[in-house]
Amino acid sequence: MADILAFVLAGGRVDELSVLTFDRPKSALPFAGNYRVIDFALSNLMHARIRRVGILSQYRSASLITHIGTGSSWDMAGRRRQVTLLPPSTGQKNSDWYKGTADAVAHNLDFIYENSPDLVLILSGDHIYRMDYQRLIQFHQKQKADVTAGFIKVLPQESHRFGLGVMEPKEGRPGGRLISYQEKPSAPQSEWASLTIYLFRTEVLLEILKQTHPHSEGIEFGRDIFPSMVHQYRVFGYTFSGYWGYTRTLDEYWRTHMDLFGAGTKINLKQWQIRTNLEHERIQERQPAVIGPDADLDQVLLTYGCRVEGTVKRSILFPGVQVEEGAVVEDSILFFDTVVETGALVKKTITDNGVRIGEKARIGDGDKILANQTLPQPLSSGLTVIGRNTHLPSRIRVGGNCILYPFLEENSFESMEIPSGATVS
């Protein structure tokens, strides 16, 4: 086997996720009850027996650091096994923040030299998927490639959002030589979207980064490096046909969760063998879930410490969630220790940790006509999002497409009727 070092790009927040990434990077965002988004990349690495990993993070990393711990949850602690957090540090300039994906790796050339790998695998830490990286590696070696990038086919109407590659005919192979690459083109010429998975021969990566690192502006692999590499190196595309969940926007994050349900479930956490750190948020210390005699559950992901006395349908309840008698929760994602009090109605809503919804409140049940204009892309699907530790008073009504900021107390609300599209801060 080739000696491989992996980098996981886990540093950023995105404005599209609004209050959910106020105090955590997107990679540390909770997912599917017990997990974090980064668990999927780390579990894929573990299954591929790649256990030397650098995690590139710079935005409010406390939650991510706590979750990663020693790396033992993914069998990355021990001799020749390590997971290392690589935040930006003061260098020749007063502030050497990471300015793009390639720039983040370029800041850590010493980490590459220290490990002396044959190949360097660079991954995004914010996608939901199960992939066998060893197949990618075998394809890369068989093609004698300088770099291989992962691609997945997307719908034509969505292709403009991604970096797109044009490949030679595959002829039965799981990929082909890359003819061209464009980052988010206005006139897409391909349906093969980048997965932000790059496998480099180490000497090629070092050569490229030494050429580009002195630039002062942000340096991205897709935007700044791949388009020119296609004509100078042996660059291949590796095609992936499995499930891939995108979590860049609130709607995508919600829809990916909904893929846990229904016939032919797209995300099979047990089959995928996803690992997580059960010490984070004290998951392993919590009691078993309790379901009351009058509770009604239909398509519910239920976790440790939950107590359900009311009705829950097509929803994810993270550890410690309580749904009291007469309360109804539908099409929602409730983070750790959310409480839905007696008689409340919650529809198509995401709550962050510690939210309390008062008796007979109605959330996400009102007018959904007006979009929320505070995000880079207007929120118009009817989804409502409530920030950490916000407490909603009894009988309040909150429409769809609403965003409520963290740490709002019951007496913070000037009105008991919040119309659709509103933001309360």
Distance from C-alpha of 52 to C-alpha of 66, rounded to nearest angstrom: 19
Residue 13: per-residue pLDDT? 65
pLDDT tens digits along 300-316: 999 999 999 999 999 99
**Mind listing the pLDDT tens digit for each residue in 140-183?**
999 999 999 999 999 988 888 899 999 998 777 899 999 999 99
CA dihedral 351, 33, 283, 302 (to 10 degrees): 100
Whole-angstrom distance, CA of residue 149 vs CA of residue 123: 10
What's the pLDDT at 213?
Answer: 57
Please report the pLDDT score of residue 91 as a whole number: 54
For residue 94, is pLDDT > 90? no
Three-state SS for the chain is CCCEEEEEECCCCCHHHHHHHCCCCHHHCEECCCEECHHHHHHHHHHCCCCEEEEECCCCCHHHHHHHCCCHHHCCCECCEEEEEECCCCCCCCCCCCCCHHHHHHCCHHHHHHHCCCEEEEEECCEEECCCHHHHHHHHHHCCCCEEEEEEECCHHHHHHCEEEEECCCCCCCEEEEEEEEECCCCCCCCEEEEEEEEEEHHHHHHHHHHHCCCCCCCCHHHHHHHHHCCCCCEEEEECCCCEEECCCHHHHHHHHHCCCCCCCCCCHHHHCCCCCCCHHHHHHCCCCEECCCCEEEEEEECCCCEECCEEEEEEECCCCEECCCCEEECCEECCCCEECCCCEEECEEECCCCEECCCCEECCCCCCCCECCCCCCECCCCEEECCCCEECCCCEECCCCEECCCCCHHHCCCCEECCCCEEC
Q: Which residue has the tokens 């009102």?
A: 366
Residue 96 banded pLDDT, cuts 50, 70, 90: low
pLDDT tens for each residue of 209-225: 888 655 546 788 988 88
Q: How far is CA 223 from CA 56, 107, 171, 196, 418, in A?
A: 19, 18, 28, 12, 41
Give the pLDDT score at 100.
80
Which domains are present in the chain? 4-258 (3.90.550.10), 286-424 (2.160.10.10)
Answer whether 115's CB lies under 8 Å from 151's CB.
no
Amino acid 93: pLDDT: 52
The proportion of the chain whose per-residue pLDDT surpasses 90, expressed as a percent, equals 75
pLDDT in tens, 98-120: 778 888 898 899 999 999 999 99
Q: In this predicted structure, what is the pLDDT of residue 146?
A: 98
Distance CA 348, CA 236 (A): 41
Are 125 and 67 in contact, with CB atoms under 8 Å apart?
no
Mean local confidence (pLDDT), 320-347: 98
Query: Alpha-carbon distance 306 to 290, whole Å?
Result: 6
Q: What is the pLDDT of residue 382?
A: 95
Q: Which residue has the higher pLDDT, 369 or 68?
A: 68
Tell me: the pLDDT tens digits for 6-33? 999 997 667 889 999 999 999 999 999 9
| Average confidence (pLDDT) over 47-64 | 90
Instruction: Please tell me the distance from the alpha carbon of residue 323 to that of residue 307, in angstroms, as a whole number.
Output: 6
Kindly state the percentage of the chain with pLDDT values over 70: 96
